[in-house]
Amino acid sequence: MKIDGDFNNIDALGDDHIGSSSETPLRADAFELSNKEKIDSIKEDVKHILETLGLDLKDDSLKGTPNRVAKMFVNEIFGGLDPNKKPDASTFENKYRYEEMLVEKNITVYSTCEHHLLPIVGRAHVAYISNGNVVGLSKINRIVDYFAKRPQVQERLTIQIVKELQNVLDTDDVACVIDAKHLCVNSRGIRDIESSTVTSEFGGKFKEKETRKEFLDYIQLDTQF
């Protein structure tokens, strides 16, 4: 969806969870401040919000909140905005000549809705077909986590994971399905506890019906330990 200057209903766009691009909309000067400077600045902003709400920040329980939230934003839940934290892209040669599909399923997703700054919690299922390169399995989890740790739109997260793995593995044959609950839907607004959102992105061979079905069948398998 394209947003242009005529679009004057930005609130409705956010309320409907419609994203504008598959790239995270970062400004050119996004990394001019150090992480330490960002924490110091955000700390004052959080303080301002809590004080505006009428809270007494001299209270022992609230005293540390601005600093705690600022550190959490910069280092943890939005840490994936920092390109230095991107998982390194090393791959291995596929020595086993394994040419079938590899599926990594039930990867935990903790992200944050960029329209309400509330959690998105769910599972990602990722698959690829090797063209000679393979990645360590934990690398897939780390890639999911890196892109999840941003203000996100679930569709964009799904696409970013696929694009990154296509890059790393040097193949189009990558797919991702995410099934997640948005706390902004579950806990406020319409307050629907049961609903979850499923998004998918199928690249290369996964656009073919058979391959896609095989992947979706693997996801359905109930893995017992």
**Residue with Cβ nearer Zn ion (19 or 87):** 19
Measured distance CA(86)–CA(143) in Å, rounded: 8
Minimum distance, C-beta of residue 198 to Zn ion, in the bound complex (Å):
16
Concerning whether 125 is annotated as a catalytic residue, the answer is no
Concerning whether 114 is annotated as a catalytic residue, the answer is yes
Measured distance CA(65)–CA(163) in Å, rounded: 37
Are 166 and 206 in contact by the 8 Å Cβ rule? The answer is no
Minimum distance, C-beta of residue 155 to Zn ion, in the bound complex (Å):
13
Instruction: State the residue number with the nearest CB to Zn ion.
Output: 184
Site string for Zn ion, 127-166 (x = CB under 5 A): ----------------------------------------
Are 150 and 22 in contact by the 8 Å Cβ rule? The answer is no
Concerning whether 113 is annotated as a catalytic residue, the answer is yes
**Residue with Cβ nearer Zn ion (104 or 155):** 155
**Residue with Cβ nearer Zn ion (188 or 207):** 188
**Residue with Cβ nearer Zn ion (43 or 115):** 115
Are 133 and 100 in contact by the 8 Å Cβ rule? The answer is no
Q: Which two tokens stand for residue 168?
A: 């790393």
Concerning whether 116 is annotated as a catalytic residue, the answer is yes
Nearest to 67, CA basis, from 30, 38, 32: 38
**Contacts to Zn ion from residues 73-112, by CB under 5 A:** none
Minimum distance, C-beta of residue 46 to Zn ion, in the bound complex (Å):
20
Minimum distance, C-beta of residue 74 to Zn ion, in the bound complex (Å):
21
Concerning whether 17 is annotated as a catalytic residue, the answer is no
**Residue with Cβ nearer Zn ion (103 or 109):** 109
Annotated catalytic residue within 104, 125, 176, 182: 182
Q: Which two tokens stand for residue 150?
A: 């941003």
Interface with Zn ion (CB under 5 A), residue from 124, 184, 202, 211: 184
**Contacts to Zn ion from residues 106-125, by CB under 5 A:** 113, 115-116
Catalytically active residues, by annotation: 113-116, 154, 182, 184
Chain positions contacting Zn ion, by CB under 5 A: 113, 115-116, 184
